[in-house]
Amino acid sequence: MNLPPVGLGTMGIEDPDVIATALECGYRHLDTAQIYGNEAVVGAGLERSDVPREAITVATKVWADNLESERVRQSTHDSARKLGLETIDLLYVHRPIESYEPEATLPAFDTLRDEGHIKGVGLSNFTLQELETARAVLESPIGAHQIEYHPLFATPELLEHARKHVYPVVAYSPLAAGRARELEVLVDIANRHGTTPEAVSLAWVLQHDTIVAIPKASTRAHLEANLEAATLELTPDEVARIDGIEREEELFPE
């Protein structure tokens, strides 16, 4: 699936005008989830925007208690209704836990795609082994794998899997949930470039050729800054310094 470098993570966004503003700023990838409780907000924002529907990739995720086959189907129709969409562009398994059973859950996603209710099947928060199991069961290609990825938590082996099997990785929390501004290495590099540590964090994530990112932002200034970060070029030495940060903080463990 072809995704722009920077999309909008919408967790916690409760104002449809934020969605409409993001689209006005140039965002073309919106990411929500059933568990966020704001699919209707995203739908209302889409309705308020003049951007053509076909220009926007809208993604949502089926939560862990809806992963039994029939609940996948019903909850996806509920999500589409809340989003105001006939077709969801990218539908994820949010986490492979609770009611997730590969042999039952994944064929339900395949069927939704075959019937035209969704365009792509995504996976989120999968391990390498879980990815391999999914590949063996799915008839659909993996549309994307969404994972936490930032300077404090990186999993290069998952990027390598994506490169090998040719699908994008979607990085959530690329600004480390605000921790980026506290990292001395990022602050120093930001000062050299006349930018912010958050921009450096996002630029570092995006320098991996497999990754796109979905930072959350609620104001026009932050929305625009995140888009601009995609143009920030870090030197090999700067990338190496960030690579050298001790990575031990997963912000959203299972």
- 57 has pLDDT over 90: yes
**What percentage of the chain exceeds 90 in pLDDT?**
92
Question: Can you read off the two tokens belonging to residue 116?
Answer: 């035209």
| Residue 178 DSSP symbol | G
Task: List the domain boundaries for the chain.
Answer: 8-176+208-219
- 219 has pLDDT over 80: yes
Per-residue pLDDT tens for 100-115?
Answer: 999 999 999 999 999 9
- 44 has pLDDT over 80: yes
- 71 has pLDDT over 90: yes
Residues 46 and 202: their CA atoms lie apart, in Å, by 25
Under 8 Å between Cβ of 72 and 103: no
pLDDT range class, residue 245, cuts 50, 70, 90: confident
Per-residue pLDDT tens for 169-196?
Answer: 999 999 998 888 999 999 999 999 999 9
- 167 has pLDDT over 80: yes
SS3 204: helix
pLDDT range class, residue 253, cuts 50, 70, 90: low
SS3 of the chain: helix, strand, coil, percent, to 5: 50, 15, 35
Per-residue pLDDT tens for 7-26?
Answer: 999 999 999 999 999 999 99
pLDDT value at position 148?
Answer: 96
Residues 123 and 107: their CA atoms lie apart, in Å, by 13
Residues in the chain: 254
Residues 148 and 146: their CA atoms lie apart, in Å, by 7
SS3 19: helix
pLDDT value at position 254?
Answer: 64
pLDDT value at position 177?
Answer: 86
Under 8 Å between Cβ of 217 and 143: no
Helix orientation angle between 102-114 and 69-83, rounded to the nearest 10 degrees: 40
Average pLDDT of the chain?
95
> Mean of the pLDDT values across residues 78-92?
98
Q: What is the pTM of this model?
A: 0.95
Residues 139 and 234: their CA atoms lie apart, in Å, by 39
Residues 111 and 132: their CA atoms lie apart, in Å, by 20
pLDDT range class, residue 81, cuts 50, 70, 90: very high
What is the DSSP track for 95-149? -S-TT--HHHHHHHHHHHHHTTSEEEEEEES--HHHHHHHHHH-SSPEEEEEEE-
pLDDT value at position 100?
Answer: 96
Residues 101 and 80: their CA atoms lie apart, in Å, by 23
pLDDT value at position 248?
Answer: 67
pLDDT value at position 21?
Answer: 98
pLDDT value at position 178?
Answer: 86
Q: Which residues lie across from 29 on neighbouring strands?
A: 57
Catalytic residues: 36
> Mean of the pLDDT values across residues 239-248?
87
Q: Specify the CATH number for 8-176+208-219; select among 3.40.630.30, 3.20.20.100, 3.40.50.300, 3.30.70.1090.
A: 3.20.20.100
Number of Cβ within 10 Å of residue 134's Cβ equals 21
